[in-house]
Amino acid sequence: MSGGDTDGSVTGGGASERLIRLLGGDEIAWLVDRARHRLEQGRPPTGTVTLTAATPAQRRAAEALLGRRAGAGSSLSVSLDEVDRILRASGVTADGLREAVVRLRGPIRDLSGEKAARTAAWERAFTRLDTLVANRPELSGWRSWLESTGLVRRLAATAGEARTLLDRLSAVLERLPSPGTPLGRLAAETCGDAHGLDEGRPLATLALSAARALSGLPYAGESGADARRSVWAAVGVHLDDLSSLVLCLGLPGDDRSPTGRMLNAARAAGEPCVLTLRQLRRHESPLPADLVRICENPVVVAAAADELGASCPPLICGGGRPSTAVWRLLDLLAAGGATFAYHGDFDWGGIAIASSVHERLGFQPWRFDAASYQAVPSSAPLSGQARPTPWDPALTVAMERRGVRVEEELVLAELIADLVPKRHGAES
């Protein structure tokens, strides 16, 4: 039995019938599929393919194609080079196995080319975002995190969808921090959809992780409503006038507005006062004060209220990244002639927060300089990107060399002692 039919007078129609008879059946489909897979990967249809646990019918189909016994045993091996030679020699296909695969299965896809095109499309999707990140080094770690987690690919099914999503994200990030901006207005102005940054939207998921990065927080972070509100507030964005808050103690008020009367009453009672952005926006006149101290953590305010009560001098808690309400209150005090003293956490996130306050209002450091940092025992490792400390350049150098963080709670007793009124009115 010779390999295939070598009658050279076969017509085109006859060749097609013989091709179907030799390679078109279900029992030999595995071989055609293996050849097609190699072609789609840009490889020639050569070498040997093996089918394990071949059925008797599959073995008979291979023997009919080859014109000989196809070995013994449970596996079946066929040389694609031999199949190519048989198809050419018999006149079934002029271009051998490649032509046979195309006629039986349709055009060969260029999988390597398609993969390269998809890769290029995904790279282009990040073009605007990567340009922005190149100028915002504080986002570089977050950008690497995006890549390693595959978050964008989970949120966008195609590179085209990703490009639209990331271009809108870039527009949002170009505006952050954005003090005093309502979330809906930010969404409307950056992506043409006032609800584009609503909870659960893909854009909101990405923007919130970037806002965490800008605030020195873990990129994944907590997902609750309070945590989300806090993160947006850290970059100056508020969800509404009632969700943006500021905590204060001992702040002088006035009798001209409800907010002023609230401050006076809280000061007389020695109790902390929480003000909303709505209340502060309705208070239009400056708040007169002398020295106002600013801390980062509410534990300082709580301890000061417990220890000093009504005798505590003006104290404001920034609560991490200042919210819009915090900025509004500080601006009202600055307009009233107040000066400021600042203390926060000795870590790079705390330094970033302090820098934003210093840039906007200026302050004198309140135990927030290199000497104070060096004086506090700590073994907690310092991580993150170093930042300048213009109020005391030596502080950055000291933190880089020592490499530990010092949280505000570790110096709570010293801070409270500073708040104790001095007999002659001197400030520490």
Domain definitions of the chain by residue range = 12-109, 119-238, 245-419
pLDDT on residue 423:
67
Q: Which residues of the chain are modeled with pLDDT < 50?
A: 1-12, 425-428
pLDDT of 346-366, one tens digit each?
A: 999 999 999 999 999 999 999
User: Which residues touch 245 (CB under 8 Å, ≥6 apart)?
Assistant: 274, 275, 276, 277, 319, 323, 325
Please provide the CATH number assigned to the domain covering 245-419: 3.40.1360
Please report, for residues 210, 241, 332, the alpha-carbon distance to residue 284 in angstroms, rounded to integers and kept in the order given.
Answer: 33, 15, 8
Query: Can you give the pLDDT at residue 26?
Result: 93
Predicted confidence at residue 151, as pLDDT, reads 94
Cα–Cα distance between 417 and 413 in angstroms, integer? 6
Under a CB-based contact definition with an 8 Å cutoff, are residues 269 and 292 in contact? no
The confidence score (pLDDT) of residue 424 equals: 53
CA distances from 294 to 184, 233, 308, 317 (A): 30, 17, 16, 6
**Roughly what angle, to the nearest 10 degrees, separates helices 80-89 and 29-40?**
100
Phi, psi of 418 (to 5 degrees): -65, -25
- 361 close to 397: Cβ distance less than 8 angstroms: no
Q: How confident is the model over 176-215, as pLDDT tens digits? A: 988 778 888 899 999 888 889 988 899 999 999 999 998 8
Are 209 and 141 in contact by the 8 Å Cβ rule? The answer is: no
User: 77 and 69 in contact (C-beta within 8 Å)?
Assistant: no
pLDDT the model gives residue 4: 41
* Structure confidence by residue, pLDDT tens digits, 116-156: 888 899 999 999 999 999 999 989 999 999 999 999 999 99
Give pLDDT, residue 250: 96
Backbone angles phi, psi at 107, to 5 degrees: -55, 145
Distance CA 25, CA 39 (A): 20
